[in-house]
Homo-oligomer: A and B are copies of this chain.
Amino acid sequence: MTTLYGYYRSSAAYRVRIALNLKGLDYEQAPVNLVKGEQRLDANLARNPQGLVPSLVTDHGLVLNQSLAICEYLDERHPEPPLLPADAEGRARVRSLAQLVACEIHPLNNLRVLKYLVGELGLDDEAKLSWYRHWIAEGFAALETQLSREAGSGDFCHGDTPSLADICLIPQVYNAERFACDLSHYPTIRRIAANCRALPAFSQAAPEAQPDAR
């Protein structure tokens, strides 16, 4: 059985859950509690020297790390339904949108970064929240511009089927809502998010639906 080592509120694990659901793949979950620091225990470091989640361990014992690499692997091994468009230009666009979230927004708001801001730099809650919202606002403004003006957009980030871009977008929208970011300026993002969330693959991957959600 394929096992996902993750955490219900980890954006990166959330992405992999959506991908597994879209592909219709069976998997079991093994929670790694990030708040308790379990990602730093030897058992997790043996799977993931980065001390992060998620890791996906296949039924052949292959250990995969990094959420986007895992999603691309799943897409190669289980091509239907595809997470990337059939054309190279479309794939470049979807990967670019996914990476706008995964490389420009999410890394700055990771738990370990927030811990450094508070523990090492002494930020109070207000300054931490400003930091959090700043990077979401910067990234979402760019994303809204791209999604609203580019012909490739449809019901979803690219066309009318969900892709790797939506897989990255939805966990980021979840985080934005959790930290009460103002999303009124991003109507296209909100429209696409509503379309995604209407699909069981997305709703069943939501943090609150996971076995380790408190």
Contacts and interface: CB of A to CB of B under 8 A. Distances in A.
Contacts of A100: 50, 65-66
Identical chains bound together, number? 2
Interface string A73-104: 10011000000000011011101100110111
Interface string A189-206: 000000000000000000
A29 B116 CA distance: 38
Interface in A138-157: 138-139, 141-142, 145-146
Given A62-B89, A107-B104, A107-B108, A95 B72 contact: yes
A127 to B, nearest CB: 7
Interface residues of A, number: 46
B96 A65 contact: yes
Nearest to A147: B49
A135 B141 CA distance: 26
Interface of A: 49-52, 62, 64-66, 68-70, 72-73, 76-77, 88-89, 91-93, 95-96, 99-100, 102-104, 106-108, 112-113, 116, 120-121, 123, 127, 130-131, 134, 138-139, 141-142, 145-146
